[in-house]
Copies of this chain bind each other. A is one copy, B any other.
Amino acid sequence: MPNIKNSITEERTRVSPKTLYRLLVYQRILNKFFLNDLETVRSAALAKASGVKPEQLRKDLALFGQVGTRGLGYPVKELMDVIRAFLGKTDLQPVILIGTGNLGSALLKYGGFKRAGFDLVAAFDVQKGGQSKDVLPMSELQGYIEEHSIELAVLCVPQDAAQEVADELISYGITGLLNFTSMVLQVPSNISVNNVDLALELENLSFFVSQQNGIPS
């Protein structure tokens, strides 16, 4: 019986979004530990830094078979490698952005995507007003996506245009949308959408805060 499962690609299907988020977090923390020359880490420490319970961390890592050493902990470098192998994709992936309003043009400047392995290679808008990167007109959208085989798009257009632009993107071959609009997009089941609704997050936060304090006003 093999220890570390070697048919990782076969396992890729069996993970929930929640677990995946956690794996990505573990990866980050591990990288930090690695840069600090840590060689092994116990589940308690890694879990605390990741904001989860140790049991949950261990359950998550069980996906990869046995990677830790009982009585000792997990080898930092090896664990990093195993998670990275599972996640696949290592090289820089091209992403386009649609809608260069306030939020859109800020995201173009935001360095975090590049650090995570994504390259915002082009931006599109109905208005071709010059921002920091060249903004292309929507008429070039289809050509660009097809020519560069783009899969992922960041959607920052106004609410009213959201569904329409999403439909367009999908028809040109985009299969993953990071949706910054506050619209709920209707898409075919083979298309992935992740919603980032900033106002919603603040509303949600506000509710739980006022709950803690006792009801205000």
Give chain A's interface residues, CB within 8 Å of chain B.
9, 12-13, 17, 20-21, 24-25, 28-29, 48-51, 87-89, 91, 93, 95, 102-103, 105-107, 109-113, 115-118, 151-152, 154, 175-178, 182, 184, 186, 190, 192-194, 196, 198-213, 215-217
Task: Check B192 against A91 for contact (C-beta < 8 Å).
Answer: no
When distances are taken between beta carbons in the complex, the residues of chain B under 8 Å from A210 are 88-89, 151
Task: Check A102 against B110 for contact (C-beta < 8 Å).
Answer: yes
- In terms of DSSP, what is the predominant structure of the interface of chain A? helix
Task: Check A51 against B200 for contact (C-beta < 8 Å).
Answer: no
With both chains docked as a complex, state the minimum distance between the C-beta of A99 and any C-beta of chain B, in angstroms. Answer: 12
Q: List 17 A-B contacts (CB under 8 A).
A: A12-B211, A12-B215, A17-B208, A20-B204, A20-B207, A50-B184, A51-B186, A87-B203, A93-B206, A102-B111, A103-B112, A118-B203, A118-B206, A151-B210, A175-B209, A192-B205, A194-B202
With both chains docked as a complex, state the minimum distance between the C-beta of A214 and any C-beta of chain B, in angstroms. Answer: 9
